[in-house]
Amino acid sequence: MQEEEVSQIFTPEMIDTMARIWTRSIITLIDVRFQNVAPQHPLEQYKMPSSMFIYTYGGEAQIQLNETSFGMERFGLVHGGKGSLLSISPKGDSVKTFMVLYKAELPFLFKKHLQQLLEHVNPFVQQFGYTPSNPILLFDWFQQMMNGWNRGKAMDQLQAKSFLYQLIHGVYRDFAGGEIRYLQPDPACSAKIYLDKHYRESIMFQEIADMFGISGGQLTRLFKKKEGMSLQEYLIQRRIEAACHDLKHTEATIKEIAIGSGFADEKNLFRMFKKYYKMTPSDYRKINALSMQVDGIDNDSHHLYNERELVSLVRSYRDGESTMFGQVRRKEMILAAAMSLMLLLSACTSGAPANNGGTVNPIPEQTQQTTQPEVSQTRTISTIKGDVQVPNNPQRVVVDYLIGDVVALGVTPLGVARVSRGETEAVFANQITDSIKIAMEPEDVMTLEPDLIILAWGDENYENLSKIAPTIYVPYGDMTTEERIQFIGGVLNKQEEAEAVLNAYAKKIEEAKLALQNEGLSDVTITMGEFSDKSNYIAGAKHAVGELVYNQLQMQAPSKVKTDIIDTDKYWGDISMEVLGAYIGDYLLSIGDTVVPVDNEVWKSLPAVQNNRIVTVGTSLSWSTDIMTSSALIDHIVNKLVELAK
């Protein structure tokens, strides 16, 4: 750890704050142990049952806490919080180790004040390692602490506890003196090690910062200074790197690869590929599949995150398009041949006189004079993919995700995307009984001979679908409900219907807010998410249900949900059961087909659970953002909340 970075972590103000917390907290000494760790029998992945001080001496060793590795030469003092994984690996001779286990609790009198201090720095979970300025004095304290503790008498254990406080004072005195050598690495290095190992999992950067007892902002600043990029940028790069490997070497679907690489969903993976690679994951897979067939081409020689290299990849893809999509080109030729045959047959069977002997009967002069110019049958729609010519009155519409929007505008789709869940229970199920359920793959869509395709999910197929029929891509995640309905209304030439649908929806929102107000529910706090014994995912305002509740119905979120999830623009927050209570509001919305953890004591202690203020939002109402589903979701939530309030 560099000296200037150490001074930024243990500033005089921070040391003073930590001392205040120690002074006013209730400290319980749990145990004092001694262990001789030999090279042939290292201590590996010991899960610390409480906060601990570990003092080692006698030789060179590698001490690891979670993802942080400390290199010790002769003496080393390390501290970590409960649940940390401790490993000690001597490099030569055995090393002798003292372990002091303690527990810290907040007294009732100062609890609120101390909680505010703990939000800035938590000395009980703080992770650090250094060579003490007076290692012999520390050895004496640890030895007397262990001797007193092992004698078992109250006075002896009281003396052992006094040595613990002397130890803490000595540590902070060393910090304040600034003339000690910290054991490597620094938080930025450790954060990188952690991300390299856990990038496929849901990650909260504050949890990494908590390992060192520093703020998330401080960790971000240190990481960016060392690595030249933010924590988020590095995490995305690691996930994209994993996705690239899977795209090249597996047959997994895009969705499977997205989830397996750590992305929230495939849409997120598409967006990041567009940003970094200027292509879709499917395009990347096709390019690499082809180039890997050519001898002498080393695919792995490309630098994954070098924009200049990526441009060349995209250029080679565009130039070689006819080769890469040979199968699609052949299908286009088949369609063209079929169309030519249809035109030929229509000419043979029409009422026009036959062509006999090469003589063509002329069109009567009067007909030529009275023929009017044909009115245009298409319109131009501006989209993020460019201008698209669409039919004035589309009759054979295929739509993938926003089915409820299309149905609400009075159009029954010819084909709809086959969904994995919620289809049979969807609020528009009765309106699409005659619609054909298909996968949104070019081969399946082609069989329906559509005259318009509305695509809102999986835009990696956009280019191929646009060769079959005019294709409109709807970036629904970047649009408000009003913008989306007006846009789709313009595409379908249903502008008046769109206005009527939006007016009805706005009226529903106002009526819902009034109903909540009349029952005194306007100011209550709402928490929504998926809850279970193993994990709790709290939804933010980017989630479909969260956007409706927090942004449209303007209901209140608990302060922790707002600061940790909504204000940081997160879709979900992965919250452990131990701290779940801080994120729970007056009412709970349980999203999806989850199993409520009724046997968990923390769960049972929540006021919302004790008062039975839980509203279940099933899969059919939470999987889509279309306006029909949103309308039904408003009715469901408001009715259930009003019912519970009464």
**Confidence grade of residue 597 (pLDDT, cut at 50, 70, 90):** low
Q: Please write the tens of the pLDDT for every residue from 57-85.
A: 988 888 888 777 777 888 899 999 998 88
- Exposure of 516 in the CB half-sphere (CA atoms within 13 A): 25
Give the residue, 235 or 187, on which the prediction is more confident: 235
CA distances from 277 to 284, 309, 462 (A): 8, 9, 17
Q: From edge to edge, which strands make up the β-sheet containing 68-72?
A: 43-47, 85-90, 61-65, 68-72
Mean pLDDT of 497-519: 93
pLDDT of residue 4: 39
pLDDT of residue 9: 60
pLDDT of 489 strictly over 50: yes
Q: What's the start-to-end Cα distance of the chain, in Å?
A: 59
**Confidence grade of residue 586 (pLDDT, cut at 50, 70, 90):** very high
CA distance 518 to 521: 8
pLDDT of residue 487: 95
**Confidence grade of residue 320 (pLDDT, cut at 50, 70, 90):** very low
> Which positions ≥6 away from 632 have C-beta within 8 Å?
427, 621
- Cis, bond preceding 42 (omega within 30 deg of 0): no
> Which positions ≥6 away from 433 have C-beta within 8 Å?
none
pLDDT of residue 290: 62
Contact yes or no for 137/170 (Cβ under 8 A): yes
CA distances from 534 to 449, 526, 531, 595, 597 (A): 47, 22, 8, 10, 9
Tokens encoding 293: 């067939």
Q: Picking from 11-20, 61-70, 486-495, which range would have the lowest pLDDT averaged per residue?
A: 61-70
pLDDT of 595 strictly over 60: no
Tokens encoding 436: 């054909």
Q: Picking from 116-130, 193-207, 354-368, 440-454, which range would have the lowest pLDDT averaged per residue?
A: 354-368
Contact yes or no for 105/28 (Cβ under 8 A): yes
Which among 473, 451, 476 has a CA at the least distance from the CA of 461? 473
Total count of residues recorded for the chain: 646
pTM of the model: 0.45
Q: Please write the tens of the pLDDT for every residue from 329-388.
A: 344 444 444 444 344 334 444 444 333 333 333 333 333 334 444 445 889 999 999 899
pLDDT of residue 292: 55
Q: Please write the tens of the pLDDT for every residue from 135-145.
A: 899 899 999 99
Cβ neighbourhood burial of 372 (10 Å; 0-12, 13-18, 19+)? exposed
Q: Please write the tens of the pLDDT for every residue from 162-195.
A: 999 999 999 988 888 876 676 655 577 778 878 8
Which among 526, 583, 521 has a CA at the least distance from the CA of 551? 526
CA distance 137 to 128: 20
Mean pLDDT of 483-510: 94
Q: What is the mean pLDDT of the chain?
A: 79
Q: Please write the tens of the pLDDT for every residue from 242-265.
A: 999 999 888 899 989 999 999 888
**Confidence grade of residue 271 (pLDDT, cut at 50, 70, 90):** confident
Domains of the chain: 3-187 (2.60.120.280), 233-323 (1.10.10.60), 378-493 (3.40.50.1980), 504-645 (3.40.50.1980)
pLDDT of residue 573: 87
